[in-house]
């Protein structure tokens, strides 16, 4: 037994000044990672940056400060690989009870508010707002050319 312990004491894996056979540095000289998580300012609903925001339509707004939002996404079929619509309902926090059934909302991930609520509903501008603005500018372009439309010609006559 004493022979084994004396041989163990005589063996040293690496001293700080020696190198391993393959040329790498000993573990004691390797630097430890210095990255630390950044301290974010406190917020009542901290955002999780890795989570994408989801968009959906409110399907139920009867509960107080809670709305049910249905999110539709396209996902490939496991066997046929055709993209099919998949729907999922999420419970979202609506602190001012501002959303009605049919409203488009954006869901942002937050801390768990209850057993089923971990999203906050945020208002979204309507999708067709940009189309209306583009349509108004195209009508204004016809008047700038000085060409009256047919309806204006009939009103003049």
CB 57 within 8 A of CB 132: no
Per-residue confidence at 53, pLDDT binned at 50, 70, 90? confident
Task: Render the burial of 34-62: b for 16+ CB within 10 Å, e for the rest.
Answer: eeeeeeeeeeeeeeeeeeeebebebeebe
Residue-level pLDDT at 15? 52
Whole-model pTM: value is: 0.51
Residue 139 has pLDDT above 60, yes or no: no
Q: How far apart are CA 93 and CA 50, in angstroms?
A: 20
5-22 pLDDT, tens per residue? 665 555 555 455 556 566
Exposure string for 84-103, b = 16+ CB within 10 A, e = fewer = eeeeeebbbbbeeeebeeeb
In this predicted structure, the answer to whether residue 112 has a pLDDT above a threshold of 90 is yes
Q: What is the pLDDT of residue 105?
A: 95
Percent of the chain whose pLDDT exceeds 90: 45
Give the model confidence (pLDDT) of 115-125 as tens digits: 999 999 999 87
């Amino acid at each position: 037994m004493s022979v084994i312990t004396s041989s163990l004491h005589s063996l040293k894996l690496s001293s700080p000044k020696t190198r391993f056979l393959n040329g790498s540095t000993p573990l004691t000289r390797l630097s430890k990672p210095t990255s630390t998580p950044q301290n974010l300012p406190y917020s009542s609903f901290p955002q999780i940056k890795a989570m994408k925001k989801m968009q959906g339509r409110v399907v139920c707004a009867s509960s107080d400060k809670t709305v049910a939002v249905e999110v539709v996404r396209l996902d490939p079929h496991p066997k046929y690989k055709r993209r099919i619509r998949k729907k999922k309902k999420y419970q979202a926090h609506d602190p001012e009870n501002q959303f009605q059934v049919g409203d488009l909302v954006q869901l942002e991930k937050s801390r768990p508010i209850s057993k089923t609520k971990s999203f906050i509903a945020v208002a979204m501008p309507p999708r067709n707002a940009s189309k209306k603005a583009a349509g108004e500018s195209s009508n204004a372009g016809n008047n700038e050319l000085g060409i009256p439309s047919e309806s204006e010609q009939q009103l003049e006559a």
